[in-house]
Structure 1
Amino acid sequence: MPSSLSPTLASTPASASPAPVGVGIVGLSVNGGWAGTAHVPALAALPDAYELRALSASSAESARAAGEKFGVPLAFGSVEELVQRDEVDLVVVTVKVPHHRELVMSALAAGKTVLSEWPLGNGTAEAEEMATFAQSRKLRGFVGLQARSAPPVRYLRDLVADGYVGEVLSTSVVASGVTWGATYGSRNAYVFDRTNGATMLSVPFGHTIDGLASVLGEFTELSATTATRRPEVRHEETGELLPKNVEDQIAVSGVLESGAVASVHFRGGVARSTNFLWEINGTEGDLRVTGNSGHLQFGQVTLHGARGKNAELTELPVPARYDANVPAPAGLRGTMAHSVAHAYAQLRADLTEGTRTVPDFAHAVRRHRLLDRVQQAAATGERQRVSP
């Protein structure tokens, strides 16, 4: 059985600093995309922990171009070539959701540790298959649910745990999905077909609900209403109409493990008023989180709080200690790479110190199943119990 870490990293003496984890990114193109925007700068902020050694793209030509642009020494036109390289310890899958299963399974078959972007699979069955295969091979698989790694969300979790609001009574989220509005660009056309697995429910709702659960606990039961209020969307340049069969309105209410009541409403597109508002109301205080979109995984939010009788909300800046595990965070703050860098820092500890902080494939399956319960509740009109 191949080691899930390189021999150098796996055999580093406890007294020495572990060798950098060799990373190979699947889906890094010259146009950047999510891999270039978030993963490359996040890895660069952790130079002692990671080395970006390889990439694969849709063709050898595009791989060479991306390698030159990002300074990656090994560039391949197929994932099969990448996963066979001893220089690669961690395979990072950053392509569109319909391709996740094939690429993740190839990496696992080669004995590699895998980090896949969320959603893990195109539906729960694929996620379960990947999780089972990773477990059978005794390999670690991780999923990019990085909202819970973002400094503001970690600070929020600590505030709640330390009793800032007292007993949590309820929580409410109102959020905009951004992409699922009235118009679309060519790059995002595939998200309007539910068979591709990248819907407003699976992407921003999934990311945000995972962040919420990391702070307040999981749902134990829920009801849901969903709707497709815009059955067609217009291309932002050509005006071409595209049929849409995914929900652009998602309203979920339920009860969390603590007994707190929760409501979450996602709306497609961008609102003229509120694009992200998350309130946590307790017996002793209140917390408010605001931002410009419902994509909590970007970590671009501001916290306010108030405690005690007649207290007014004031901003709660995130203390510097929440950036301590990223040596070079200054250039990342306010960017989409900030949360990803913190997820990578936690992942490094998981790999070298035996911690279990970053969501793994089993966690991803649980999150997929929660989304199934939302869909079932909306389809049947019946309240759903949520299993652990």
Structure 2
Amino acid sequence: MTFIGVGIIGASTSGWASIAHVPAIAASPEFELRAVSTSRPSTAEVAAARYGVPAFHDHRDLIAHPGVDLVVVAVKVTEHLRLISAALEAGKMVYSEWPLGNGLTEAQQLADQAAEAGVRTVVGLQGRYASEVRFARDLVRDGYVGRVLGTTMVGSGMVWGGEVADHGHAYWFDNANGATPLTSATLHALDPLHFVLGEFDSVAANLVVGRKQATVAVDGSTIPFTVPDQVSLIGTLDGGAAASVFYRGGASRGDNFRWEINGTDGDLVLTADWGNMQVAELKLAGGQGADPTVQPLEVPTSYLAGVPAELSRSAPGSVARLYREFARDLADGARTVPDFAHALGRHKLIDAIERASATGATQSLACPTPR
């Protein structure tokens, strides 16, 4: 069997790549980890020992590695443009974590560069691959709720509360860095919403900077808080259903994630204790007809297939399903996974939301066909 060789930029032994990508690659028979890179020689040495593959402290060496077919970029969004551009220039396939770029201009540049290079790309919007989300999508399509009337989603970004662990994570709180409650937590949840129910036809928004500063836990200092940490969206989906989405920074003492889909004949409810739904363990409940309440719905085993049981309901499980679907796309010549063109559409949605909030005017949106 010919493996697809993977190299991960940002593969520290304690970051997101180690939690999600490395286990997902190990669980995917089509892929093989071939190299990793970190930002310093010392951390590269530790990574080499942990993963048993060559490790570099210069991303250019990883990109040039002859065994690397797919470059995974799992670093701060402020570094995406430079690193992804280098991989595309080398003709390598690229898997970029979301957001693709720091703002619409960068996303447009990277999408254009990928199209010109003619290479396949992936963006890490793995929330749609949660088994509960895919089962909910099929239930809606099969008429479980009847005609969809509306949907409400409330969640917590978990980050962007009143405290940050250390100065190394302070970049989350500066709006200029592109990693905000809107661009990260909210869009990670909106992508599955649109996957299940269709795209926004129009949207109104209110983005509010509620907190003004955050305390750095290690030394008690404070940093300015410039990201909108209260995100309110009201829209109409292209099928005519009403949609309301609210995401808060930090965590709630109440529900940190609840998504309801309400129709003429039934209701579906997805919940989680963790607000970043793309990495949360989701629970699905439903009720229809004469049912007085919703009850837990068991996800059929067919939705869990292809991923080892120990990963199935965790963050690596959804990432592993994304890898598997990408492998099928490559084998079949299909384009089903979120790629850079898809990511550009999501960045355009962010831009429309920001304009709606700034102007107070509802924004009409072109509605691409959901994948």
Q: 1:179 aligns with which of 155, 159, 165?
A: 159
Deviations 1:249-283 (A, max 9, x none): 01000100100000000011111111111000001
Is the aligned partner of 1:373 residue 2:352? yes
Q: Which amino acid aligns with 1:122?
A: N
Is the aligned partner of 1:231 residue 2:181? no
CA displacement at 1:77 relative to structure 2: 1.4
Kept in 2, the 8 Å contact 1:211–1:296? The answer is no
Rounded to whole Å, the distance in 2 between the matches of 1:42 and 1:374 is 33
Kept in 2, the 8 Å contact 1:131–1:141? The answer is no
Give the aligned partner of residue 57 of structure 1.
38
Is the aligned partner of 1:248 residue 2:229? yes
The TM-score with structure 1 as length reference comes to 0.92
Map residues 296-335 of structure 1 onto 2, 5 A cutoff. Answer: 296-326=277-307, 329-335=308-314
Is the aligned partner of 1:26 residue 2:9? yes
Q: Any idea what SS the aligned residue of 1:86 has?
A: coil
Structure 2 residue ranges without an equivalent (≥5):
none
Pairwise CA RMSD? 1.2
After the TM superposition, which segments of 4 or more aligned residues of structure 1 sit over 3 Å from their partners?
none
CA displacement at 1:147 relative to structure 2: 0.6
Give the aligned partner of residue 148 of structure 1.
128
Q: Which amino acid aligns with 2:11?
A: L
Give the aligned partner of residue 98 of structure 2.
118
Deviations 1:90-148 (A, max 9, x none): 10000000001111110011110000000000001111111111111111111000011
Q: Which amino acid aligns with 2:170?
A: A
> Identical aligned pairs, as a percentage?
46
CA displacement at 1:294 relative to structure 2: 2.5
Rounded to whole Å, the distance in 2 between the matches of 1:335 and 1:104 is 27
Map residues 1-388 of structure 1 onto 2, 5 A cutoff. Answer: 18-30=1-13, 32-46=14-28, 48-71=29-52, 73-186=53-166, 187-326=168-307, 329-388=308-367
CA displacement at 1:325 relative to structure 2: 2.4
Q: Which amino acid aligns with 2:26?
A: A
CA displacement at 1:310 relative to structure 2: 4.0
CA displacement at 1:343 relative to structure 2: 0.8
Rounded to whole Å, the distance in 2 between the matches of 1:166 and 1:280 is 11
Q: Which amino acid aligns with 1:111?
A: G
Rounded to whole Å, the distance in 2 between the matches of 1:174 and 1:364 is 23
Range with bigger deviation, 261-270 or 350-359: 350-359
Kept in 1, the 8 Å contact 2:8–2:37? The answer is yes
CA displacement at 1:177 relative to structure 2: 0.9
Kept in 2, the 8 Å contact 1:299–1:339? The answer is no
Q: Which amino acid aligns with 1:254?
A: G
Rounded to whole Å, the distance in 2 between the matches of 1:174 and 1:61 is 42
Structure 1 residue ranges without an equivalent (≥5):
1-17
